[in-house]
């Protein structure tokens, strides 16, 4: 039985919700859109939903190009506990995925699992660079037709999550990219890639550059307050491009806690494990070997924000000292 056939056999209704991780990025949206098209081809209706904001210009243009409805959880008051949910590019129990009232029956993801959940069906492959590659494989294994818009979306998801096929790339990512390549609209892809940085983003880059601290081959930087999650990740990638840096930690202060992005190009530093261990007991973190994220809520009693941030930095540095011995 093909994976898609097994997935479809575990959907009992004629409509499902497709939920991405909070503040969805191109891989999450492209995976959700591809899944929506697969379900549509098999007579199942779906609604894509998420938590957070989609305020990045490139993401807004991307969704506009797809011409599909993506609903914020705040507008899902009609969801019932019996409604079925397919998770894409995220897993139940992760801090970057809100627990909706519906029933999470299926999970399609490429992140490591830190909490075991009993889904009806799960296809979780941490070795794959982009969730869009997994979704794309369902089209090819079942010979489901792929239109230009779907191909373009899946290519964009693969490109972004693998940093243009330069990070965490598997054979499947390469195979899916090249099989999709001639089906996509590259004029649209070029426009999306040229729209990734906005003028206001320069302030966050400037904050990070001013605040950067370097310890041997490790950098820690602060983007300023309330920086969007995709921008924190972009700045973390930017810092990792420094020739002296093998591990980049970038954070932003939020009203409810500290959001972090971690990047590594050193095989001895697993970003996902680093985030998970460093934040254990005070927050949560995880991800891939080369890229990860984390969040630390403010404690009930906090003496000072400066000391709180210093504590987080020290926890990372202590764990990095262990792995680099």
Instruction: Tell me how far apart the terminal alpha carbons of the chain are, to the nearest angstrom.
Output: 47
d(C-alpha 244, C-alpha 287), whole Å: 23
d(C-alpha 15, C-alpha 61), whole Å: 27
d(C-alpha 265, C-alpha 97), whole Å: 26
pLDDT in tens, 46-73: 999 999 888 788 899 999 999 999 999 9
* pLDDT given for residue 44 in this prediction: 97
Q: Is 281 exposed, middle or buried (0-12, 13-18, 19+ CB in 10 A)?
A: exposed
d(C-alpha 283, C-alpha 294), whole Å: 7
Residue 169 sits in the same domain as residue 284? no
Residue 133 sits in the same domain as residue 76? yes
Residue 123 sits in the same domain as residue 41? yes
* pLDDT given for residue 189 in this prediction: 95
Using pLDDT thresholds of 50, 70 and 90, give the confidence band for residue 2: confident
Give the mean model confidence (pLDDT) for residues 295-316. 90
**Is the pLDDT reported for residue 325 higher than 70?**
no
DSSP 8-state symbol, 283? B
CATH of the domain at 241: 3.10.310.40
Residue 277 sits in the same domain as residue 173? no
CATH of the domain at 175: 3.90.1640.10
Exposure class string for 150-168: b at 16+ Cβ within 10 A, else e: bbbbbbbbbbbbbbeeebb
- Whether the CB-CB separation of 267 and 290 falls below 8 Å is answered with no
- Its domain, for residue 314, covers 201-323
Residue 123 sits in the same domain as residue 249? no
Residue 65 sits in the same domain as residue 144? yes
Of 97-101, 148-152, 301-305, give the lowest mean pLDDT range.
301-305
d(C-alpha 224, C-alpha 231), whole Å: 11
User: What is the pTM for the complete model shown?
Assistant: 0.85
Residue 218 sits in the same domain as residue 281? yes
Q: Which residues contact 249 (CB under 8 A, 6 or more apart)?
A: 218, 219, 220, 221, 236, 260, 261, 262, 313, 316
């Amino acid at each position: 039985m093909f994976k898609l056939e097994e997935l479809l056999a575990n959907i009992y209704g004629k409509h499902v919700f497709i939920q991405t991780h909070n503040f969805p990025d191109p891989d999450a949206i492209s995976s959700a859109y591809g899944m929506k098209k697969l379900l549509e081809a098999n007579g199942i209706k779906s609604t894509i939903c998420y938590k957070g904001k989609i305020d990045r210009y490139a993401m807004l243009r991307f969704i506009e190009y797809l011409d599909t409805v993506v609903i914020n959880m705040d507008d899902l008051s009609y969801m019932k506990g019996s409604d079925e949910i397919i998770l894409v590019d995220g897993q139940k129990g992760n801090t970057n995925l809100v627990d909706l009232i519906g029933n999470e029956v299926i999970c399609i993801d490429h992140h490591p699992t830190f909490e075991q959940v009993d889904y009806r069906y799960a296809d979780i492959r941490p070795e794959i660079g982009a969730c869009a590659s997994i979704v794309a494989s369902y089209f090819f294994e079942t010979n489901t037709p792929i239109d230009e818009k779907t191909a373009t979306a899946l290519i964009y998801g693969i490109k972004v999550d693998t940093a243009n096929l330069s990070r965490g790339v598997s054979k499947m990512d390469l195979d899916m990219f090249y099989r999709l390549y001639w089906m996509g609209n590259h004029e649209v892809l070029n426009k999306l890639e040229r729209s990734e940085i906005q003028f206001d983003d320069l302030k966050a880059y400037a904050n990070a550059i001013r605040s950067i601290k370097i310890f041997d081959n490790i950098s820690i930087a602060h983007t300023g307050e309330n920086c969007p999650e995709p921008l924190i990740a972009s700045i973390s990638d930017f810092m990792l491009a420094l020739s002296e840096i093998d591990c980049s930690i970038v954070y932003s202060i939020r009203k409810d806690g500290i959001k972090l992005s971690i990047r590594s190009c050193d095989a001895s530093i697993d970003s996902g494990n680093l985030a998970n261990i460093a934040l254990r007991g005070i927050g949560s973190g995880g991800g891939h070997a080369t890229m990860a994220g984390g969040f630390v809520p403010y404690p009930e009693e906090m003496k000072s924000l400066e000391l709180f941030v210093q504590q987080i930095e020290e926890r990372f540095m202590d764990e990095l000292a262990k792995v680099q011995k």
